[in-house]
Amino acid sequence: MPVAAARARFARPDLTTFCRLDELDLVVTGQRLEPDRAVLACRVLTPDEWCRRCGAEGAARDTVIRRLAHEPLGWRPTVLEVAVRRYRCTGCGHVWRQDTTRAAEPRSKLSRRGLRWALEALVVQHLTVTRIAEGLDVAWDTANDAVLAEGRRVLIDDPARFDGVRVIGVDEHVVRHEALLFRMEVRDLHRLAVAAAG
């Protein structure tokens, strides 16, 4: 029956995969919908119970919450509250937190998807930093710093950043506004990144 065949292609609704949190090694454990934002409670999927110092097994002590701005879904900011386990080594007493580097850069306030959204919003959609900060529900400085750091990381740390760039134009009117110059450079990078993916 055609309807049954079509239905068979659907998987069970799943916030974790819908919000692409599986890519970040996170699992959604709860949701809280507030008037102007959605908050998703998450936990880190991969255990991290082996001591980095002596290799003995750690015992879970407690959890700490790490808040991350994720990409906005449904035109509403999406905030992650990630429960991160803390372990104490049963051998040497060393204490550590569960590894969250797949979810976000160390000390970052944005998830990797949130950061990606911010960069694409600036480069592809030409959104202002003010608008990006609103979309992420973070302070202007937080959005600005994150985008600049990520742009710097992919531009300056990539030795092939000028590959395929035939003309580098410097406009004296642009040079006076560093944000515009930065935007021009990232756009070039984006073009290269897309070419590489194709």
Distance, in Å, from the CA atom of 28 to the CA atom of 19, rounded to the nearest integer, reads 9
The residue (of 69 and 89) whose beta carbon lies closer to Zn ion is: 89
| 86 in contact with Zn ion (CB under 5 A) | no
Among 92, 139, 175, 196, binds Zn ion (CB under 5 A): 92
Q: CB 85 → Zn ion: shortest distance, Å?
A: 16
| 53 in contact with Zn ion (CB under 5 A) | yes
**First-last CA distance in the chain:** 38
Among 19, 28, 89, 121, binds Zn ion (CB under 5 A): 89
Q: Which of residues 3-42 bind Zn ion (CB under 5 A)?
A: none
List, as own/partner pairs, every contact residues 171-176 make where C-beta atoms lie below 8 angstroms and the sequence separation is at least 24, other chains included: none
CB 64 within 8 A of CB 35: no
Give me 105's structure tokens. 């850069």
Size of the site for Zn ion (CB under 5 A): 8
| 95 in contact with Zn ion (CB under 5 A) | no
Q: CB 60 → Zn ion: shortest distance, Å?
A: 14
| 91 in contact with Zn ion (CB under 5 A) | yes
The residue (of 94 and 102) whose beta carbon lies closer to Zn ion is: 94
Distance, in Å, from the CA atom of 198 to the CA atom of 189, rounded to the nearest integer, reads 14
| 83 in contact with Zn ion (CB under 5 A) | no
Helix (H, G, I), strand (E, B) or coil at 180: helix
Q: What share of the chain is helix, strand, coil (3-state, %, to 5)?
A: 35, 25, 40
Binding site for Zn ion (CB under 5 A): 51, 53-54, 56, 89, 91-92, 94
